[in-house]
């Protein structure tokens, strides 16, 4: 790591220095020169330089102005990248990525800033349907949540959104000593591949997403309690009874198919 750079906690800066981990990320990403990579948080370029070597082009978004010059130094032997010195959460990805329509595949690969893991993933899921693969370093606990099954404590709204759109799995764990400074949590790399067909067919997709979000507002509450902030309580009780669910059921007990069944019921009965 560049000795003059002090990592900024507020930007989630933990720089990867372990070449084996970087090689493993590249291996599980299965890149080629037909691939455009979007990277959030290139930092000092540890991962970016591998991405430039193996992908066709890399577009990276870095919030920290102080890292841009050192990053350019790291990448000096490459010319297939663009650095955008912005907060990823303020970017209109759809219009920015339009320029790169010659690439057959668009992947999102990032050693994520952990403090905004869910907002970044949610943004890309909602705004960038052209991204077909995500390879992301994240906190182990969050990786478990994203890949969890119903009834596990790690299952949440974003887990179901991912299950609806594709297949997420933890590829490998990463020791905290692989970073400078070492974070005080364990990490893992998750790969998420979008289905290349429509697996589920709810009657109204927006309604389904609204239902899922509302169901998990407070994990400890029952589904009835969470949903009664959005729908009439008698209606929810009738919906659960008509669909043979217990009135005390919690969102974490429901599968994606269960949520579709309930969303279709609301669509047909509202």
Would you tell me which residues interact with ligand SAM (CB under 6 A)?
A: 11-16, 40-43, 46-47, 61-64, 67, 87-89, 111, 113, 116
| Closest approach of ligand SAM to the CB of residue 77, in Å | 18
Q: Which is nearer to ligand SAM, 53 or 233 (CB)?
A: 53
Shorter beta-carbon distance to ligand SAM: residue 41 or 166 = 41
34 or 66: CB nearest ligand SAM:
66
Q: Where are the beta strands (DSSP E) in 23-132?
A: 35-40, 57-61, 81-84, 105-111
Q: Find the shortest distance in angstroms from Cβ 186 to ligand SAM.
A: 14
Least distance to ligand SAM, CB of residue 85, Å: 9
Helix (H) or strand (E) holding 33: none
Task: Give the nearest distance from C-beta 5 to ligand SAM in angstroms.
Answer: 10
User: E-assigned strands of 67-226?
Assistant: 81-84, 105-111, 133-139, 166-174, 179-180, 187-194
Q: Which is nearer to ligand SAM, 34 or 82 (CB)?
A: 82
Long-range contacts of 234-241 (CB under 8 A, 24+ apart): 235/269, 239/265, 239/266, 239/269
Contact 12, 186 (CB under 8 A): no
Least Å distance between CB 171 and ligand SAM? Answer: 16
Rounded-to-integer distance, Cα 167 and Cα 63, Å: 29
Buried b / exposed e over 187-221, threshold 16 CB at 10 Å, is bbbbbbebeeeeeeebeeeebbbebbebbbeeeeb
- Please, which contacts does 83-88 make with residues 24 or more away whose CB atoms are closer than 8 Å? 83/42, 84/59, 84/60, 86/61, 87/61, 87/63, 88/40, 88/41, 88/61, 88/63, 88/120, 88/123
Run of H or E residues at 239 = helix 233-242
Q: Which is nearer to ligand SAM, 61 or 108 (CB)?
A: 61
| Helices and strands (H and E) in the chain: how many | 11, 9
Q: 116 vs 266, which CB is nearer to ligand SAM?
A: 116
Residue with Cβ nearer ligand SAM (50 or 265): 50
What CA–CA distance (Å, rounded) separates 191 from 166? 10
Closest distance of CB 43 from ligand SAM, Å: 3
The residue sitting closest to ligand SAM, measured at its beta carbon, is 41
Minimum Å distance from CB 16 to ligand SAM? 4
Q: How far is the CB of 88 from ligand SAM (least distance, A)?
A: 4
Nearer to ligand SAM, 43 or 156 (CB): 43
């Amino acid at each position: 790591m560049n000795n003059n750079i002090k990592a900024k906690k507020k930007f989630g800066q933990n720089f990867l220095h372990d070449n084996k981990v970087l090689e493993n990320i590249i291996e599980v990403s299965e890149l080629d020169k037909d691939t455009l990579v979007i990277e959030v948080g290139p930092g000092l370029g540890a991962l970016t330089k591998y991405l430039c070597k193996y992908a066709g082009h890399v577009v990276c978004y870095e919030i920290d102005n102080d890292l841009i010059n050192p990053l350019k130094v790291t990448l000096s032997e490459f010319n297939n990248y663009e650095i955008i010195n912005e907060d990823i959460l303020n970017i209109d990805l759809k219009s920015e990525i339009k320029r790169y329509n010659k690439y057959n595949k668009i992947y999102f690969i990032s050693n994520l800033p952990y403090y905004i893991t869910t907002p970044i993933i949610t943004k890309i899921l909602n705004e960038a349907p052209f991204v077909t693969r995500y390879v992301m370093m994240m906190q182990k606990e969050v990786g478990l949540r994203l890949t969890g099954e119903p009834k596990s404590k790690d299952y949440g709204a974003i887990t179901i959104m991912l299950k609806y759109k594709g297949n997420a799995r933890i590829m490998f764990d990463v020791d905290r000593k692989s970073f400078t400074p070492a974070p005080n949590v364990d990490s893992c790399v998750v790969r998420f591949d979008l289905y290349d067909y429509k697996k589920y067919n709810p009657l109204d997709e927006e309604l389904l997403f609204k239902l899922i979000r509302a169901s998990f507002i407070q994990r400890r509450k029952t589904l009835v309690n969470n949903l009664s902030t959005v729908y009439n309580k008698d209606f929810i009780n009738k919906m659960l009874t008509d669909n043979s669910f217990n009135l005390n059921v919690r969102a974490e007990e429901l599968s994606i198919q269960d949520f579709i069944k309930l969303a279709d019921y609301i669509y047909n009965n509202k």
